[in-house]
Amino acid sequence: MDRTVLLSKARRLVVNIGSAVVAPAENGLQTTRIERLAREVSDCCREGYEVILVSSGAIAAGVRKLGLAGKPATIPLKQAAAAIGQSSLLWAYERSFAKHGRKVAQVLLTREDLANRHRFLNARNTLLTLLEYGVVPIINENDTVAVEEIRFGDNDTLAALVTNLVGADLLILLSDVEGLYTADPRKDSRGTLLPLVERVTAEVEAIAGESGGPEGTGGMASKVQAAKRAAASGVATAILNGKRAGLLKAFLRGEAVGTLFLPRESRLTSRKHWIAYTLAPKGRLVLDKGAKAAILKGGKSLLPSGILRIEGRFAVGDAVLCVDEAGEAFAKGLINYPSAEVGQICGAKSSEIPRILGYSAGDEVIHRDNLVLL
Ligand code: GLU
């Protein structure tokens, strides 16, 4: 897709601001930079863009306020730091946006909030209402209550899921680097900036590596994963240097700054994206070759006859992965039967379900409407 066409169509933007931009570990909250970003975002709003911000920096700001020497070592201390830092973070945004006559709203989310379809839709309605009123929502992970199982883990992931939540047209990740390099510029001076990534392939993932910066959680790897998730819902992603003034506008004007990741042409619907990326899988179904081919090539539902065995414990409506005999996951879907019952009917014909279980919730173990290819 052409860059100019893509950008000219974009109206609703999710802009993720990393810790390294607003609260680098060594310096605490960067109020001057927040003021500059608020001005740039306010300008975008005046030009007709709707902007949803996702901002990190709560923990880093809290660490500084508490006078701690480095990253908190324990989870309770990290959560306390987040609670202490979040209010300063939001206050800095509130004050900065007020100078441009713009109101902001704090929205703190956990993965669980988005994994529950009812709460997902509710969060969407709230965010869309805020946009209707010209307010800039500022989202962060609710670190204070988020324990491991319900965490997004990093704000790049959160921002990608928010992109799907609000049906945004563009995801912009503001970091402390210019974009994706062929090699980590902090370690290898031969690395060159990639201006365009047409598709997040295994090679691109390898380039991004596992490196995390000192402040943020995710590093380049989680940014590339975020771009991949956004691409799956038909949305382009940009990685830009948020420390440099004017880049956001330059990018939106069509200038070749940062790295642009193109969207996939075949986009997942919002609901299928939610199944694929927001829900944590509760178990795995090992399928035979026939079932795999029927799902991948025929777009069929999953019937009990193709299931060889199950792993994990799950309830009706939970997300499960479909894996082949080599253990490779190729699809994910919402299950119609609990694990104990799938264990009983696996390998059987659908017509035998009522006899085996004493009832039937349908012929399909996963209906194709609830099944997403990975
Ligand atoms: N939610 C964390 C914070 O506000 C940051 C997570 C991340 O850096 O991705 O401090």
Q: Give the model confidence (pLDDT) of 191-201 as tens digits.
A: 899 999 999 99
Nearest-10 crossing angle of helices 58-66, 75-98: 110
**181: which DSSP letter?**
B
> What 3-state class would DSSP assign to 97?
helix
Query: Lowest mean pLDDT: which of 69-73, 196-200, 220-224, 256-260?
Result: 69-73
Mark out the alpha helices in the chain (DSSP H runs): 3-9, 19-22, 31-46, 58-66, 75-98, 111-115, 117-132, 155-166, 202-208, 219-232, 247-252, 270-273, 289-296, 339-345, 353-357
Q: How many alpha carbons lie under 13 Å from residue 32 in its C-beta half-sphere?
A: 4
pLDDT on residue 212: 45
Cα angle: 60, vertex 206, 319; to 5 degrees:
75
pLDDT on residue 147: 76
Percent with pLDDT over 90 in the chain = 78
pLDDT on residue 261: 97
Substitution candidate for ligand 1 out of 17, 53, 55, 56 with most atoms within 8 A of CB: 56
Bridge partners of 329? 323
Residues 6+ apart with CB under 8 A from 358: none
Q: Which ligand 1 atom sits nearest the alpha carbon of residue 81?
A: 10
Mark out the alpha helices in 173-305 (DSSP H runs): 202-208, 219-232, 247-252, 270-273, 289-296
Report which of 71, 64, 68 is spatially closest to residue 88, judged by C-alpha positions: 64
Which residue has a Cα nearest atom 6 of ligand 1? 154
Q: How far is the CA of 68 from the centre of ligand 1 (A)?
A: 17
Domain boundaries, the chain: 3-272, 281-373
Substitution candidate for ligand 1 out of 138, 140, 156 with most atoms within 8 A of CB: 140
Q: Which ligand 1 atom sits nearest the alpha carbon of residue 18?
A: 8
* Amino acid letter, 344: Q
Q: How far is the CA of 62 from the centre of ligand 1 (A)?
A: 11
Across the chain, mean pLDDT equals: 92
Q: Which ligand 1 atom sits nearest the alpha carbon of residue 56?
A: 4
Q: How far is the CA of 340 from the centre of ligand 1 (A)?
A: 39
Q: How far is the CA of 141 from the centre of ligand 1 (A)?
A: 7
pLDDT on residue 324: 96
Number of Cβ atoms within 10 Å of the Cβ of 25: 17
Burial code of 163-196, b = ≥16 C-beta within 10 A, e = fewer? Answer: bbbbebbbbbbbbbbbbbbeeeeeeeeeeebbee
Please state, in angstroms and rounded to a whole number, the distance separating the CA atoms of residues 171 and 168.
7
pLDDT digits (tens, 9 = 90+) for 137-167: 999 999 988 777 667 889 999 999 999 999 9
| Pocket lining: 58 vs ligand 1, CB cutoff 6 Å | yes
Are residues 87 and 47 in contact, defined by beta-carbon separation less than 8 angstroms?
no
- Is CATH 2.30.130.10 the right assignment for the domain spanning 281-373? yes
Residue 213 has pLDDT above 50, yes or no: no
pLDDT digits (tens, 9 = 90+) for 24-63: 877 889 999 999 999 999 999 999 999 999 999 999 999 9
Burial code of 91-120, b = ≥16 C-beta within 10 A, e = fewer? Answer: ebbbebbeebebebbebbbbbbbbbeeeeb
pLDDT digits (tens, 9 = 90+) for 78-102: 999 999 999 999 999 999 999 999 9
Substitution candidate for ligand 1 out of 145, 147, 155 with most atoms within 8 A of CB: 155
Q: Is 39 exposed, middle or buried (0-12, 13-18, 19+ CB in 10 A)?
A: middle
Please state, in angstroms and rounded to a whole number, the distance separating the CA atoms of residues 135 and 176.
26
| Pocket lining: 218 vs ligand 1, CB cutoff 6 Å | yes
Domain 3-272 class in CATH: alpha beta
Bridge partners of 175? 241
Residue 284 has pLDDT above 70, yes or no: yes
pLDDT on residue 349: 96
